[in-house]
Amino acid sequence: MASEPSQEKFTELEDENRRLRRAVEELSILNAIGTAVSSTMSLKAIVELIVQESVRQLKVEQGAVMLLQDEKDTDPFRTMARKAHSADSDVVPFRFGQQLTGWMLKHQKPLLINDLQEDPRFKAVASSDFPIRSLLSVPLRAKGQMVGLLNVFNKRSKEGFSKADQKLLSIIASQSAQIVENARLYEELQRRSHELQESETKYRALMQEAGEAILLADLDTRRIIEVNEQAEKLTAVPRDALRGRTLADVVPVEEFADAAAFEKMQQDGHLQYSTVRLERRGAAASYVDVGASLVTYGGNRIVQVICHDVTEREKLSSHLRHHAEELEKEVQERTRDLRESQSQLVQQEKMAALGKLVAGIAHELNTPIGTINSNADTLGRSLAKLRGIITNESCNEAIRENPVLQHVLSVVDDISRVNQLASQRIVDIVTTLRNFARLDEADLKIADLHEGLESTLTLVRHELKNRVRVVKEYGDIPPIRCHPNQINQVFMNLLVNASQAVKGKGEVRIKTFREDDMVNVQISDTGVGIPAENLPRIFDPGFTTKGVGVGTGLGLSICFKIVQDHRGNIDVRTEVGKGSTFTVRLPVGDRKSAGQPS
């Protein structure tokens, strides 16, 4: 009887003792875990400690912590630690079936199963290597988020897991989840930091070994922080001297000196590429393609400028440009030459056609005008004889003194004289035409042009009179092979034209000089000049401004043909009111062959 209360007491005490012991155990777990928090234990060590304590406290065969992982393509959980209940028993790895993890992920609440083999939900989980009889799984939560699972398997006693076990494991889980998460975050941070360091090291190595010149500058100050070896070579400035200088100072890109452009770069992340010329002390300037972009380096946003040396390309392109310009020039010259030779050809064709026409006309006119001219002359002679007879003393006085006969004779005399003058003019014109049509007649000779000019001047003296002063500037020119009569005709035409161009008093200047292989004869006047509208036609046959009876309109076209036949050229510079200058250029030719006419 007495034992009953003591028995009761004992039971109470025992219960109390068990509760206390449980509390101590819980406290010791919390203590152990708390120690881990303050220590610098790694995530793995912390997880192992949690698993170890769980296995020990809950008296199970195995325990494990699984953490949720970010990678989506593998299992949602990664097993971080697995522990058997004693050090000498093997930890048999097994797959904590996806049905279970899936269930936990979905429900996120403790799961207690004591007869797994019988549970229809998880039948397939049982592994032959490690037959699971019972399990207890609780979620690890940090700040309300599930971060993993704390699992224990196979209670060593036969009774299986109790609600108390579940409560204990839940306490352990709730206490350790934040610590695990913190450790995980810390490790993640460490890993990231390490990765960053690695990438920085890699970047630095890349930058230094890069084939292109790279300059790094602070985004705000735009001053250079770092450069690579290529940048030193490119700028011909050592690294230490480059550091601290402003970017625009080293690489003359307009945008580098422009704050607005920099702001725009901050938005776009890059600058347009442009080619700039780099002046280098003690070396030839170089050309670089410059590109700038924003990069993160050592955690800071900085400007990365890459300079691609394109000096060779620029040289080539400048060479090509130069070449293209040369070609363009040559094309223009050729075009001008072609145009000139085309107009010369046209002129030549005109001359040839005109030559044929003139020859035909001259031939047709020769006979009738020859006859008329001869008859006019004969008539004059006849009249002279007749008058001689009539005026002779021996003649009958009635006839000699007959006034009507005298009158008729003087009329016929006048007519005859006029006929002779008129026919002579036609003869002159026909002769001119004929000379124009066959300019190749006389033989080639070696002639001194100064002699030709002098004799021509003698012939045109009546035209010059005292009105026109002739200034001679004879230079040193060699005798040339030519048809002297034809060349003299050219001088004659030009001198007569020059003299006629001078109204009133004036000057005609004759200048001769040698230029390369050409002898130049310039005949300038201080006359009226040639109006622009007439200029294209002055060498055309039949074009005259002198008026009917003064010019044939053939003078300059004859000059043109003669000079052309001598393989020379003739041109004119003129200014209305100031005068004209005609320049005749004749080739010096080969003096040796000139001695022997071909």
CA atoms within 13 A on the CB side of 151: 28
- Between CA 571 and CA 535 the distance in angstroms is 11
Cβ–Cβ < 8 Å for 465, 505: no
Candidates 93-101, 113-121, 423-431, 466-474; binding stretch for another protein (CB under 8 A): 423-431
The one-letter amino acid at 335: T
Find, among 314, 312, 308, 277, the residue nearest to 215 by Cα: 308
- Between CA 543 and CA 548 the distance in angstroms is 11
- Indicate whether 558 belongs to the interface with another protein (CB under 8 A): no
Cβ–Cβ < 8 Å for 449, 519: yes
Among 70, 73, 393, 440, binds another protein (CB under 8 A): 440
Q: Are strands 480-482 and 468-473 parallel, antiparallel or unpaired?
A: unpaired
Among 11, 378, 391, 410, binds another protein (CB under 8 A): 378
φ, ψ for residue 594 (rounded to 5)?
-65, -30
**Can you read off the two tokens belonging to residue 548?**
């009917």
- Indicate whether 430 belongs to the interface with another protein (CB under 8 A): yes
Give me the least distance between CB of 494 and another protein, in Å please: 25
Cβ–Cβ < 8 Å for 154, 132: yes
Candidates 116-124, 172-180, 371-379, 446-454; binding stretch for another protein (CB under 8 A): 371-379
List % helix, strand, coil for the chain (3-state, nearest 5): 55, 20, 25
Give me the least distance between CB of 346 and another protein, in Å please: 25
- Indicate whether 363 belongs to the interface with another protein (CB under 8 A): yes
Which residue, 370 or 531, is less far from another protein as judged by CB?
A: 370
Instruction: Give the length of the chain.
Output: 598
Size of the site for another protein (CB under 8 A): 25
Which residue, 426 or 457, is less far from another protein as judged by CB?
A: 426
- Between CA 136 and CA 125 the distance in angstroms is 14
- Indicate whether 370 belongs to the interface with another protein (CB under 8 A): yes
CA atoms within 13 A on the CB side of 331: 6
Give me the least distance between CB of 392 and another protein, in Å please: 17
Which residue, 328 or 364, is less far from another protein as judged by CB?
A: 364
Three-state SS annotation for 76-96: CEEEEEEEECCCCCCCCCCCC
- Indicate whether 427 belongs to the interface with another protein (CB under 8 A): yes
Give me the least distance between CB of 440 and another protein, in Å please: 8
Q: Binding pattern to another protein, positions 232-251, x when CB under 8 A? A: --------------------
Which residue, 318 or 431, is less far from another protein as judged by CB?
A: 431
Among 371, 410, 455, 593, binds another protein (CB under 8 A): 371
- Indicate whether 356 belongs to the interface with another protein (CB under 8 A): no
- Indicate whether 119 belongs to the interface with another protein (CB under 8 A): no
- Indicate whether 28 belongs to the interface with another protein (CB under 8 A): no
Site residues (vs another protein, CB under 8 A): 359, 362-363, 366-371, 373-375, 377-378, 381-382, 385, 427, 430-431, 434, 437-438, 440-441
